[in-house]
Amino acid sequence: MKKPNKKEHLNLLLSAFLILAFIVCANFFAGFTSSMPTMTAQLINIAVYAVFGLLLFYATRVGDGKAVFRFSPLTLLILVLPSVFIIVASLAAFMPLHNVVAADALTGKLSVITSLAAVAVGYGIPYSFVSGFELEGYKADDEEETVVKGGVQADLADSDIAAAEEAEEAGLQNLDVDGE
């Protein structure tokens, strides 16, 4: 396994600090919105927690290289849509499960499940489209490559691929010598 360099350590440290700073900010916003009308306070808190989910995505997916884009309908269906349903059910009294996920009527504070659903939406939406970052030309040591030669498929490691190519070249040279 590759040893992390100083830049990676700095990124990890800054990501951890970012998460801790956001926890303090979320507490500030919860106190700030307590004097506002209930619906407004709930919408602001949901937006704050969704941004927290975005920051979590960034903190867990930070890296060098180019972004790896892909669409994950499974993540969208299993993570994002139920979370959106929970958020809408917490705001709309006519929705099923409103009594379970609604905010506290006296204080206007979000329920824990609604806060977590907002974080899941913030994390799940970008994760549905971007899986992270990778370096060009980077390949794990244990990663194998499938090679198809002459209609035969084989899973080979990097060293095996190089040996197979050398053997193939030597075999072709031997064929030329034997054919003459």
HEC string of 79-129 equals HHHHHHHHHHHHHCCCCCCHHHHCCCCCCCCCCHHHHHHHHHHHHHHHHCC
pLDDT of residue 139: 52
Q: What is the mean pLDDT of residues 163-177?
A: 56
pLDDT of residue 104: 67
Q: How confident is the model at residue 57 (pLDDT cuts 50, 70, 90)?
A: confident
pLDDT of residue 15: 76
Q: Which one-letter amino acid corresponds to residue 84?
A: V
Quick count: other Cβ atoms within 10 Å of Cβ 169? 10
- Cα angle value 147/150/155 (rounded, 5°): 20
Q: What is the mean pLDDT of residues 153-174?
A: 56
**Two tokens, residue 12:** 């990890």
